[in-house]
């Protein structure tokens, strides 16, 4: 481990393609910040994606676009490891070994599993049941100390800790490290529908790699205070998602101005949205510029992911050797 860093961080992200504001505020921003303190390993979990997706048609493109967003946002590949899960096949070996110390009932009791079954009753495959075991393998293969995830993943991290304890106890060893969870949840980012959490599948998202014009168009579609129908109606910023966004992306003076002027119909929703779009575009400009720079070299993303996998495999090979030894495999 690099001497100046306090431990190793690992996080996995499903390959969802171009990232949106929710991804940025909830995960990417933290991934970038953690690099200053930790040795970071960021994994694009393509195998996990296979547990739920119907087609792999867009898988490669989604991985590429997501990696591009991560790099443009400030993941530093000379320092951190960014790679694709299936490029380190040792994770599947560790998954199999860990599955032997995992009671089946524990997997089927998990709230995350029950939720997936509810969403997709016709695709309850074996891999889906084992999803948390594969996630545990991800984490422990890289001797992870800290896992930054949202609160929805808390049951998976607790599960991973239990599997590590079972494994170490059963084989009388301490080769596997119990990971700590670091909750990175920010206030829920609501989509442009003003109703649900921002997500690509609901098409209520704003992509960070859009052009300024596309961003403006998207912002103009945002649902505001439903009670404010005419321009002359006073509005209530407390129930308006555009105002929530101002609180993140605008200056204190602008936030105060919108708060006052909306309530007395001094500004209309169009003015308010234009100001937000302007500030959002200003904030995203350096990211977009870096993204365009990176795209000039068509092989850059591929090269980064390949080198990441090479470095990840070095750690994985070592861990697997220790695990095989501890288990007593021939
Ligand atoms: N289950 C995580 C999610 O849906 C993704 C994931 C896979 C992950 N492996 C991981 C997260 C390891 C943290 C660590 O978001």
Q: How much is the pTM?
A: 0.94
From 26, 43, 45, the mutation candidate for ligand 1 (largest count of ligand atoms within 8 A of CB) is 45
Residue 242's alpha-carbon distances to 186, 276, 278, in angstroms, are 17, 7, 13
| Residue ranges of E strands in the chain | 8-13, 39-44, 81-84, 146-149, 180-183
Query: What secondary structure letter does DSSP report for 72?
Result: H
DSSP string over 201-270? TTT---BTTS-HHHHHHHHHT----TT--STTS---GGG-HHHHHHHHHS-HHHHHHHHHHHHTTSS-HH
Q: What are the two backbone dihedrals, phi and then psi, of residue 90, each rounded to the nearest 5 degrees?
A: -55, -25
CATH of 212-292, one of 1.10.240.10, 1.10.275.10, 3.40.190.10, 2.60.120.620: 1.10.240.10
List residues near ligand 1 (CB under 6 A).
Answer: 10-12, 14, 45, 48, 135, 138-139, 147, 149, 153, 156
Pocket test for ligand 1, best of 34, 119, 156, 158 (most atoms within 8 A of CB): 156
Q: Whose CA is nearest to atom 8 of ligand 1?
A: 12
Summarised one tens digit per residue, pLDDT across range 39-59 is 999 999 999 999 988 899 999
Determine how many CB atoms are found less than 10 A away from the CB of residue 287. 17
Per-residue pLDDT of the chain (330 residues; tens, 9 = 90+): 556 899 999 999 999 999 999 999 999 999 999 999 999 999 999 999 999 888 999 999 999 999 999 999 999 999 999 999 999 999 999 999 999 999 999 999 999 999 999 998 998 999 999 999 999 999 999 999 999 998 889 999 999 999 999 999 999 999 999 999 998 877 789 999 999 999 999 999 999 999 999 999 999 999 999 999 999 999 999 999 999 999 999 999 999 999 999 999 999 999 999 999 999 999 999 999 999 999 999 899 999 999 999 999 999 999 999 999 999 999
Cβ atoms 305, 87 nearer than 8 A: yes
Helix axes 252-263, 269-295, angle to 10 degrees: 150
CATH 3.40.50.620 domain position(s) in the chain: 8-188+298-327
pLDDT digits (tens, 9 = 90+) for 88-122: 999 999 999 999 999 999 999 999 999 999 998 99
Cβ count within 10 A of residue 187: 10
- Of the chain, the end-to-end C-alpha distance in Å amounts to 29
Phi/psi for 248 (5° steps) reads -95, -35
Question: Beta-carbon neighbour count of residue 330 at 10 Å?
Answer: 3
User: How far is the C-alpha of 199 from the C-alpha of 207, rounded, in Å?
Assistant: 10
Domain with CATH 1.10.240.10 in the chain: 212-292
Ligand 1 centroid–CA 148 distance in Å is 9
- What phi and psi, each to the nearest 5 degrees, are found at residue 324? -60, -40
- Give residue 40 CA to ligand 1 midpoint distance, Å: 14
By C-alpha distance, which of 176, 182, 174 is closest to 161? 176
Would you say 271 and 262 are in contact if contact means Cβ atoms under 8 Å apart? Answer: no
Pick the CATH number of 8-188+298-327 from 3.40.50.620, 3.40.50.300, 3.90.400.10, 3.40.50.1000: 3.40.50.620
Q: What's the CA-to-centroid distance between 135 and ligand 1, angstroms? A: 6
For ligand 1, the distance from its centroid to the CA atom of residue 86, given in whole angstroms, is 14
């Amino acid at each position: 481990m690099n001497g100046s860093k306090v431990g190793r961080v690992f996080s996995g992200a499903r390959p969802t393609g171009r990232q949106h504001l929710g991804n940025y505020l909830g995960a990417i921003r933290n991934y970038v910040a953690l690099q200053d303190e930790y040795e970071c390993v960021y994994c694009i979990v393509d195998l996990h994606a296979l547990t739920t997706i119907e087609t792999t048609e867009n898988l490669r493109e989604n991985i590429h676009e997501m990696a591009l967003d991560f790099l443009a946002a400030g993941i530093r590949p000379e320092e951190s490891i960014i790679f694709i899960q299936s490029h380190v096949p040792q994770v599947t070996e560790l998954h199999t070994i860990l599955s032997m110390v995992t009671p089946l009932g524990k997997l089927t009791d998990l709230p995350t599993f029950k939720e997936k079954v509810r969403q997709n009753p016709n695709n309850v495959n074996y891999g889906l049941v084992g999803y948390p075991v594969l996630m545990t393998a991800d984490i422990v293969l890289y001797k992870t100390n800290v896992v930054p995830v949202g609160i929805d993943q808390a049951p998976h991290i607790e599960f991973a800790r239990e599997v590590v304890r079972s494994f170490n106890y059963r084989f009388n060893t301490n080769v596997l490290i119990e990971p700590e969870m670091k909750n990175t949840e920010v206030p829920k980012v609501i989509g442009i529908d003003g109703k649900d959490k921002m997500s690509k599948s609901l098409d209520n998202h704003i992509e960070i790699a859009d052009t300024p014009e596309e961003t403006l168009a998207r912002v103009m579609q945002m649902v505001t205070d439903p009670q404010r129908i005419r321009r002359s109606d006073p509005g209530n910023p407390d129930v308006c998602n555009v105002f929530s966004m101002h609180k993140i992306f605008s200056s204190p003076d602008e936030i105060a101005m919108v708060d006052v002027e909306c309530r007395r119909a001094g500004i209309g929703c169009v003015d308010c949205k234009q100001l937000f779009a302007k500030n959002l575009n200003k904030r995203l400009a350096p990211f977009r510029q870096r993204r365009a720079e990176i795209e000039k070299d068509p092989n850059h993303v591929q090269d980064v992911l390949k080198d990441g996998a090479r470095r990840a495999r070095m750690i994985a090979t070592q861990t697997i050797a220790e695990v095989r030894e501890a288990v007593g495999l021939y």
